[in-house]
Every structure is written in structure tokens, then in C-alpha cells.
Amino acid sequence: MKRVITYGTFDLIHYGHINLLERAKKMGDYLIVGLSTNQFNEEKNKKCYFSFEERKRLLEAIRYVDLVIPEECWEQKRSDIEMYHVDTFVMGDDWSGKFDDLKDICDVVYLSRTPEVPQQR
């Protein structure tokens, strides 16, 4: 089974998020989403409309998503990849190059953004 992982806040889910999740799922058989926790978002000075639990429920309702895990810090990506035996790490290309250090343990892919959706970082 080929496992894929991606990370994000996924607050106010929109077409661009669905497009990313669909494209990520097509790269494997099992898609894991690392969802940033409320506390981690606060540390990044990022405010969310929905709570972690609400965002998690929304993601779990999307057919492309197999598992949602909490993302509590930047540094956990490597341990998540190892723990869940991930083959491919996927992010939007607005993060291009930022996670290349993970290439020693999995494939790293940066997907192009959905053109009609503005960046929300």
C-alpha cells in the first residue's frame, strides 16, 4: 500500500483544498492529513474560524482523506513519515523547497496551486 501525507490548517475548506486532496490521493492508496492544532496555529499567530475538532470532522467527511492526525509542531513531519510508513510527502508549491530535507526518507512533491484560488498563508 502506497501512503501519502500532506499538512495544513484547512480552515474554511474551499475548492483549492479539495483539489489538493484529490491530487494527493491519486499519488497513492492511503492519504493522511496532518491538521494543525489550535495551539500550533496560535504559535504561528494564525487565527482560525473553526476549531481543530470542527476542521477534523470536515476533513474526515472528504472521500479522499483516510486519516487525520494532529500537527503540533513543524519538526514532527519526519517522525510522522517514519511512524506511518509514508512513501510520498505532498504540499502546495507555495512551500516549494522548504521540505526537501525529507527526500532522504520519502518522495517530496510540491503540487501547483489551483489558479483561481488566492493564497491564504
For residue 92, the enclosing domain spans 3-111
- What is the DSSP-derived secondary structure letter of residue 55? H
**Residue 47 located in a structural domain:** yes
Exposure of 64 by Cβ count < 10 A (0-12 exposed, 13-18 middle, 19+ buried)?
middle
Sign of CA dihedral 25, 91, 120, 80: positive
| AA letter at 23 | R
**Residue 121 located in a structural domain:** no
Question: Which H/E stretch holds residue 108?
Answer: strand 107-111
Model confidence pLDDT, tens digit, residues 106-116: 999 999 988 76
CATH, residue 15: 3.40.50.620
2, 44, 98, 103: the catalytic one is: 44
Would the pTM of this model clear 0.85, i.e. be above it?
A: yes
Model confidence pLDDT, tens digit, residues 60-69: 999 999 999 9
In terms of C-beta distances under 8 Å and separation of at least 24 residues, what long-range contacts does 113-121 make, across chains too? Answer: 113/16, 114/15, 114/16, 114/19, 114/20, 116/15, 117/14, 117/15, 117/16, 119/94, 121/94
**Residue 117 located in a structural domain:** no
Q: How many domains does one find in the chain?
A: 1
Q: What is the mean pLDDT of the chain?
A: 94
**Residue 24 located in a structural domain:** yes
Alpha-carbon span 76 to 78, nearest angstrom: 6
| Model confidence at 121: pLDDT above 90 | no
Model confidence pLDDT, tens digit, residues 1-35: 999 999 999 999 999 999 999 999 999 999 999 99
**Residue 118 located in a structural domain:** no
**Residue 89 located in a structural domain:** yes
| Model confidence at 56: pLDDT above 60 | yes
pLDDT score recorded for residue 115: 75
Task: Mark whether 2 is an active-site residue.
Answer: no
Residue tagged 476533513 (cell numbers): 59
**Residue 120 located in a structural domain:** no
Task: Mark whether 103 is an active-site residue.
Answer: no
